[in-house]
Amino acid sequence: MSGLFIKKKSAVTPRRRRAEGNDAEATSQKRKKTKDTHLREEIESDSDTEIAPARTKPKQDEEEYLEETAQEKKLRLAKEYLKQLQQQEEEQKEDEDQDQNAIANRLQEDVLEQRGRLQRPLAKELLPPEPSEIRLLRGHQGPITCLVISPDDSYLFSGSKDCSIIKWSVSDGKKMHKIPGGRKGTESTHVGHTGHVLCMALSSDGKYLASGDRNKLIFIWDPVTCQNLHKFQGHRDAVSGLSFQKGTHQLFSASHDRSVKVWNVAENAYIETLFGHQDVITGLDSLSRERCVTVGGRDGTMRIWKIAEETQLVFSGHEGSIDCVRLINEEHVVTGADDGSLALWTVGKKKPLTQVKCAHGSHGDAGLEQPYWICSVAAALNSDVVASGSHDGFVHVWRCGEGFRSLSPLWTIPLVGFINSLQFSSSANFLVAGVGQEHRLGRWWRKKEARNGLYIIPIKRTLVLGS
């Protein structure tokens, strides 16, 4: 290093020259070290302003990492990365296990539902609604005859004797769309009903709306736009019942011509006709299985039609005309008749499991009392709650006992008029009643004080300990 410095010649000894050279070298190294230190501090300071500082580690870890080689550092980082991946995999596996459990539970529910064994014990949770919370929706000029609620409970359709169909919003009760009815004699030019609308059905995917009228016609509509898609003709009398097989676009229709017809709505196709009833068919219902249940008015029978097997099961038990029917699940049915009786059935027994006579009381002079007709029935799907309507001024809500072998009253809801249609929402959070001044199938009586409209009845629930 001494050769880098030029000095004047002087009389010095070799030993002194070597000492001075060593001192100069030490001074140079010290200056270089100080300069490097300042430079490093400046670089680190500049870096701090651009990149967020890493979390400071304990002094012991710093010393440990300072001593490791580049290869050791790569190995350590690789191990940390693998550990992080393993942790993420474990968390993902937990989520997948939860998803699989949810799917398994859903599949189990579907199997139980298909077998008619899925039961939701709702009756012990329900509370009677406050009369002030019941909403009335008005828009039809004639009595309400039928209604359907969308699968997501967001909107509903109503049909009337004024031949019109109205789409309603459930949340605010506003009219979303109206399909006007036409006058008699305008069948060739009017797109829609020109006779009393008696029944409606909505496919489980919300893609098709079907409506049937007294003029023997079935109209298929787009529920979103309310545009007409097709018209089915084939019945020889009024169409009194419609139902889509759940999960499909297969439509069942019942008529006063005593027949049941099967249609494929997606392909606009007729499939077959079923015969067996000895009187007009007044009601029809179906669920997931390829079969439907009908009631045949004054022939006093309820029939279950097995489409694939081309067979029918015949049930009897009411003393009068059976006017309405609803499936509670795949195995149990509730019916109402004009003898005032309400009955529960199972598909494995030809007689009712239980029957309530004069379920809505009676009217008339002493000694000449007649029971109030049961105009409509409804069931909260796969539960132990059913409802019935008449013209006694009340909707009656009932609790089904264990094994559906008993019916006991829960509470009543005051509603004036003929309760021609009843339906629970999918969530069972509300019940909708279609009310009119007249019975949906005739004009035997007229209640002038009644208001033609839809009543949305909210249903409250209470938490039950141990449930």
DSSP string, 250-295: EEEEEETTSEEEEEETTTTEEEEEEE--SS---EEEE-SSSEEEEE
**Residue 103 vs residue 293, higher pLDDT:** 293
Instruction: Give the pLDDT band (50/70/90) at residue 118.
Output: low
HSE-CB for 52 with a 13 A CA cutoff? 1
**Residue 28 vs residue 381, higher pLDDT:** 381
446 vs 85: CA distance, rounded Å: 75
156 vs 176: CA distance, rounded Å: 10
Residue 334: closest CA among 298, 385, 263, 368: 385
Helix (H, G, I), strand (E, B) or coil at 207: coil
Residue 385 pLDDT > 50? yes
Quote the pLDDT of residue 83: 86
Determine the average pLDDT of the residues in 74-96.
81
The alpha carbon of residue 428 and the mean position of all alpha carbons in its chain are separated, in whole angstroms, by 10
φ, ψ dihedrals at 402, nearest 5° = -60, 130
Type of residue numbered 304: I
Quote the pLDDT of residue 63: 55
> Residue 400 forms beta bridges with which residues?
407
Quote the pLDDT of residue 184: 85
Q: Same domain for 154 and 39?
A: no
**Residue 311 vs residue 100, higher pLDDT:** 311
Q: Same domain for 419 and 297?
A: yes
Residue 105 in domain = no
Q: Measured between alpha carbons, how far apart are the two ends of the chain, in Å?
A: 92
Quote the pLDDT of residue 12: 46
Helix (H, G, I), strand (E, B) or coil at 91: helix
224 vs 151: CA distance, rounded Å: 13
* Helix or strand run (H / E) with residue 154: none
Helix (H, G, I), strand (E, B) or coil at 231: strand
Instruction: Give residue 455's region: left, alpha or beta (phi > 0; psi -120 to 50).
Output: beta
Residue 156: closest CA among 170, 142, 146: 170
**Rg (alpha carbons) of the chain, rounded to whole number:** 40
Helix (H, G, I), strand (E, B) or coil at 76: helix
242, 210 Cβ separation under 8 angstroms: yes
Residue 230: closest CA among 269, 259, 198, 261: 269
Residue 95 pLDDT > 90? no
Q: How many domains does the chain have?
A: 2
Q: Same domain for 152 and 265?
A: yes
200, 181 Cβ separation under 8 angstroms: no
Determine the average pLDDT of the residues in 184-211.
94
Residue 53 pLDDT > 70? no
Neighbours of 109 (CB within 10 A): 12
Quote the pLDDT of residue 10: 43
Residue 72 in domain = no
Residue 28 pLDDT > 70? no
Residue 380 pLDDT > 50? yes
301 vs 322: CA distance, rounded Å: 7
Determine the average pLDDT of the residues in 84-99.
77
Q: Read off the pLDDT of residues 242-284 as tens digits, 9 standing for 90 and up.
A: 999 999 999 999 999 999 999 999 999 999 999 999 999 999 9
Quote the pLDDT of residue 463: 63
396, 359 Cβ separation under 8 angstroms: yes
389 vs 373: CA distance, rounded Å: 9
387, 364 Cβ separation under 8 angstroms: no
Residue 319 pLDDT > 70? yes
Residue 440 in domain = yes
HSE-CB for 207 with a 13 A CA cutoff? 10
Residue 3 in domain = no
- Alpha-carbon torsion, ordered 45, 48, 53, 58, to 10 deg: 0
Helix (H, G, I), strand (E, B) or coil at 226: coil
Quote the pLDDT of residue 283: 96
**Exposed, middle or buried by CB within 10 Å (0-12, 13-18, 19+), for 90?**
exposed
Instruction: Give the pLDDT band (50/70/90) at residue 8.
Output: very low
Q: Read off the pLDDT of residues 126-146 as tens digits, 9 standing for 90 and up.
A: 998 988 999 999 999 999 999
454 vs 456: CA distance, rounded Å: 6
- Average per-residue pLDDT in the chain? 85
Structural domain span for residue 281: 126-461
Quote the pLDDT of residue 75: 84
Q: Read off the pLDDT of residues 343-379 as tens digits, 9 standing for 90 and up.
A: 999 999 999 999 999 999 998 877 788 999 999 999 9
Q: Same domain for 380 and 289?
A: yes
Instruction: Give the pLDDT band (50/70/90) at residue 108.
Output: low
> Residue 286 forms beta bridges with which residues?
292
Quote the pLDDT of residue 467: 44
**Residue 42 vs residue 211, higher pLDDT:** 211
Quote the pLDDT of residue 394: 96
Quote the pLDDT of residue 147: 97
Helix (H, G, I), strand (E, B) or coil at 296: coil
Q: Same domain for 157 and 248?
A: yes
Residue 60 in domain = no
Quote the pLDDT of residue 249: 97
Quote the pLDDT of residue 52: 42
Residue 430: closest CA among 375, 385, 382, 463: 385
Instruction: Give residue 38's region: left, alpha or beta (phi > 0; psi -120 to 50).
Output: alpha
Residue 20 pLDDT > 80? no
* Highest mean pLDDT, choosing among 17-26, 234-243, 439-448, 457-466: 234-243
Residue 117 in domain = no
Residue 115 in domain = no
224, 177 Cβ separation under 8 angstroms: no
146: domain CATH number is: 2.130.10.10
Residue 38 in domain = yes
Q: CA-CA distances (angstroms) from residue 321 to 97, 102, 302, 330?
A: 54, 45, 10, 24
122, 409 Cβ separation under 8 angstroms: no
Q: Same domain for 38 and 173?
A: no
**Residue 95 vs residue 428, higher pLDDT:** 428
Quote the pLDDT of residue 65: 58
218-221, strands of its sheet edge to edge: 197-202, 209-213, 218-221, 228-232
14-28, 37-51, 416-430, 433-447: which has the minimum mean pLDDT?
37-51
Determine the average pLDDT of the residues in 205-231.
96
Question: How would you classify the pairing of strands 283-286 and 418-424?
Answer: unpaired
Residue 382 pLDDT > 80? yes
